[in-house]
Amino acid sequence: MIWIPEFKAFISRRLSLLVLATSFLCSDNSISCSAETAPLVEAKRGMVVSVNPEASDAGLQVLQAGGNAVDAAVTVALSLAVTFPEAGNIGGGGFMMVWPGSASGTAASSDPVCIEYRETCPAAISRDSFINEHRQEGHHTVGVPGTIRGLALAHQKFGTRPWAELVAPAIHLAKEGFPIDAALASGLNKLLTQANEFPEFRRVYGKPDGTTWKKGDRLTQPDLAGTLSILAADGPDAFYKGAIAQKIVDEMKANGGAIASEDLAGYRAHIRSPVHTTYRGYDIYAPPPPSAGGTQLIECLNILEQYDLAKLGSKSSRAAHLIAEAMRRAGCDRVRYQGDPAFTQIPPALVTKEHAKQVSQDLRLDQATRSEDLAKDIKLSDEPPSTTHFSIADGNGMAVSNTYTLQNSYGSRVVVRGAGFLLNNEMTDFNWQLGVTTRAGRVGTEPNVMAPGKRMLSSQCPTLVARDGKLLLVTGSPGGRTIPSTVLCVIVNLLDFGMSLRDAVDAPRWHHQWFPDRLQFEHLGDPEFAQQIIELREMKHDFGNDVKKLGDGYRRQGDAHSILIRDGLLKGAADWRRTQGKAAGLP
Ligand code: DON
C-alpha cells in the first residue's frame, strides 16, 4: 500500500518549496508569466502534470514508490475520476499515448503506441435511432464506457506495480474526501440547480447540509469508494462482467437506456499504431481514428511545413492566416472522411505530405478561403444549430500523454445508482442526422453515423513529439473540436516561434474547424493583438461578434498540461485556463 498521508504532507511541503524555487524560471522568453499562470516546475526523476493537485500528487507518489509512467497514469486517471468529476472518469473513454522509453534515458526502446479506449454505440441503437432526438443528456446518450478496459490494457502491457496498489489512492480520496476548489464548487452548484431530473446526481454531489458548495469544503464519495474497492479487489472485469456491470445494466433498464450486459462484456480497448509525420525534423505521434484529432493535427503540420512561420513571427497576421487555413482544410477532411476505421474506409493519404501539397493548391497568402469552396461535394444547409488531459514522464524515459472524457462536463448527468460514478454522453459525438451538414457546424456525413458496436468520432489528441529518437514534448488538451487546434498552437509556438514551454502553453490560441466559417482567437479584443486582427479581417477572416471576456480574462481554449524534456531535465507546465492544475516533479 503506497498511500501514506504523512508522507503525502511531507512531499507536498517539499513540492511547495520546489514550486517556489522554480517559479523564477518561467520568464525565459518572449511572453512573461502573468499572475494567472502556473509556475514551470523542473525535475529529473519524474513529472506529473494534471488539472488537479491531489491527482498530480497521487501520481507522483507512484513514481516515488518505483512505479513507471503508466503505473502513475492509472492512478492519476482514477484519482481524477474522484477529484475532477467534470471530466475525470471511469464511465467515459479516451486515448492514451505511451512512449515506452528505455532504461538509458529518453531514447525509445520500441515505437510509441496508442491505447484506444473510446466508447462504443450499444447494440440496440441503429443509425436512425436519434433522428428526432434533441436531448443531449440522459440515459440514451451513454456510450459503452472504455476507461477501465483502457487503463487495464495499458497496465497489462506496461505496468510494473500491482493493480490494487494503483487504485488505492483513488479509494482514499473518495472515502476521506478532499477540499474542493472554486471551479468545482461553482460547477456543482450550477448543475445542482438544474439537475432535477437526475436525483442520483443530486444525492451524490449535493452538499449534505443542503447549502451551496464553497471553495475548501470537503467532498466525500462513499459509493464511489465502494466501486473503486471492488475494482481493486476483483480487477477490471468487475466493471464489464461483474458487480459494477450489473449496476450499470440495472440503471439502464430502469431508465430506458440502451446498454445491455452483452455490450459491456463485449467491450474491448485496442492497442493501435499512432498516426505519424515529421515536422521540421521532429517526429510527431498522435492518436489514429476513431479520433480525428491526430489526423487533423498531422494534416495541419504537413500544410504548415511548406511555409516559414518562424520568419513571419508569432504576432504576424500572415502566420495566423496560414494556421487558420491549415485548420480549415483539416477540419473539412475530418467531416468528409473520418469515422471508426472498423466501419469506414479512411484514405491513408490524409497524413501524407503529398495530400498537404494538394489541399494547399488553392491556399492564397493574402485571402481567406471560403469554407464552402472546399467541399462542393458536401451538401450544406442553413439550419440553426469536458474532457481532461494529463502528461506524465518518469525518470527512465517512459512517458504517457492521456486525454479522456465524459463528453460534456459531467457527461450524461447519469450517476449509476449506488455506484457513485457518472456516465458519459458520448453518443452525442455521432452524426445524428445523415445528410444534414450545416453552415452552423452541425455534421451529417456518412463516416460518423451511428451503428451498433461502432466508435463515435473523437477530437482527442494526446501527442508526443520526439527528435532523433528522443522524446521532447508530451502534450494534449480538452476542448472538443478545438483540441487539435490547441495542440497545434502549442507545437508551433515551441518549434516555430521558439517560445519556452511556459509561453507556448500560455500564448493565446487560434481555432478554425471549417464550419462555422469563423476564426476563433482567445484574445479577441485584446489591444495587444489589435493590428493582427485588423489585418486578418482585411484578408476576409470572419471573427463574428464573439468578443467574449470570461471573468477577468478572455475566452479560454483548452487546458494543455504539458512536459518538455531536454538534456534529462523534465519541465512541467500546468495550464491554468480551467482550474489551478499542478505540475508535480520528483527532483
Ligand atoms: O472526444 C471528443 O472529441 C469529445 N467528446 C471531447 C469533448 C471535450 O473535449 C469537451 N471538453 N472540453
pLDDT per residue as tens digits for the range 436-467: 888 888 899 999 999 999 999 999 999 999 99
pLDDT (mean) for 514-531: 91
> Can you give the CATH number for the domain in which 348 is found?
1.10.246.130
Neighbours of 569 (CB within 10 A): 12
Same domain, 262 and 306: no
The reply to whether omega before 222 is within 30° of 0 (cis) is: no
Do the beta carbons of residue 94 and residue 460 sit within 8 Å? yes
pLDDT band at 546 (very low <50, low <70, confident <90, very high): low
Which tens digits make up the pLDDT trace of 256-302? 999 999 999 999 999 999 999 999 999 999 999 999 999 999 999 99
Do residues 297 and 236 share a domain? no
Rounded Cα distance, 449 and 429, in Å: 9
| Contact (Cβ atoms closer than 8 angstroms) between residue 334 and residue 359 | no
Distance 387 CA to ligand 1 centre (A): 5
From the number of C-beta atoms within 10 Å of its C-beta (0-12, 13-18, 19+), residue 127 rates as: middle
* Pairing mode of beta strands 437-438, 380-381: parallel
Average pLDDT in the 348-355 region? Answer: 97
Alpha carbon 332 to chain centroid, angstroms: 21
Q: Which of 117, 340, 407 to mutate to test the pocket of ligand 1 (most atoms within 8 A of CB)?
A: 407
Q: Whose CA is nearest to atom 4 of ligand 1?
A: 480
Ligand 1-lining residues (CB < 6 angstroms): 386-387, 405, 407, 429, 458-460, 478-480, 483
On whether residue 448 sits in a domain, the answer given is: no
Percent of the chain with pLDDT over 90: 82
Query: Higher pLDDT residue, 572 or 378?
Result: 572
Return the C-alpha cell found at 542: 470572419
Considering only 14-18, 181-185, 296-300, 558-562, which range has the smallest mean pLDDT? Answer: 14-18
Q: Which three cell numbers stand for residue 224?
A: 464511489
Domain count, the chain: 2
Q: Is residue 103 located within the same domain as residue 51?
A: yes
Comparing 196 with 129, which gets the higher pLDDT?
129
Q: What's the pLDDT band for 554 if we cut at 50, 70, 90?
A: low
Q: What is the pLDDT of residue 375?
A: 82
pLDDT-derived band at 526, boundaries 50, 70, 90: confident
Structural domain includes residue 135: no
Residue with cell 499515448: 97
The pLDDT of residue 353 is 98
Q: How confident is the model at residue 105 (pLDDT cuts 50, 70, 90)?
A: very low
Please report whether residue 330 resides in a domain.
yes
120 is catalytic: no
Q: How confident is the model at residue 377 (pLDDT cuts 50, 70, 90)?
A: confident
pLDDT at 415 over 90: yes
Residue nearest to atom 11 of ligand 1 (CA): 386
| 90 shares its domain with 187 | yes
pLDDT interval class at 221 (50, 70, 90):
very high
Q: What is the DSSP letter of 449?
A: B
**Could you tell me if residue 467 is inside a domain?**
yes
Q: Which atom of ligand 1 is nearest to the CA of 94?
A: 1
11 pLDDT more than 60: no
- Within this chain, do residues 366 and 508 fall inside the same structural domain, yes or no? yes
Residue 257 lies in a domain: yes
Share of residues in the chain with pLDDT > 70 (%): 90
Within this chain, do residues 335 and 470 fall inside the same structural domain, yes or no? yes
Residue 400 sits in the same domain as residue 541: no
Q: Provide the pLDDT confidence category of residue 547 given band limits of 50, 70 and 90.
A: low
Ligand 1 atom with the shortest distance to the CA of 481: 3
pLDDT, position 381? 66
- pLDDT of residue 67 exceeding 60, the answer is yes
* Domain around 413: 5-122+142-270+393-436
Cell 466525500 found at: 220
What is the whole-number distance in angstroms between the Cα of residue 486 and the centre of ligand 1?
A: 13
Alpha helices, H only, 278-316? 293-304, 309-312
Establish if 421 belongs to a structural domain. Answer: yes
For residues 381-398, average pLDDT: 83
Query: Which atom number of ligand 1 is nearest to the Cα of residue 293?
Result: 3
Q: What is the pLDDT of residues 419-435, one digit of tens each?
A: 999 999 999 999 998 98
- The answer, yes or no, to whether residue 37 has pLDDT greater than 80, is no
Distance 352 CA to ligand 1 centre (A): 26
- Of 108-112, 145-149, 370-374, give the range with the top mean pLDDT: 145-149
Selecting among 387, 428, 445, 475, the annotated active-site residue is 387
496, 423: one domain: no
Claim to verify: residue 263 and residue 282 sit in the same structural domain:
no
C-alpha cell at 525: 479584443
Rounded to the nearest angstrom, the distance between the alpha carbon of 386 and the centre of ligand 1 is 5
Residue 515 scores a pLDDT above 90: yes
Give distance in angstroms: CA of 94 to centre of ligand 1.
Answer: 9
Q: Does residue 133 belong to any structural domain of this protein?
A: no
Q: Of 497, 485, 513, 464, nearest to 301 (Cα)?
A: 485
pLDDT at 36: 61
**Nearest ligand 1 atom to alpha carbon 558:** 12
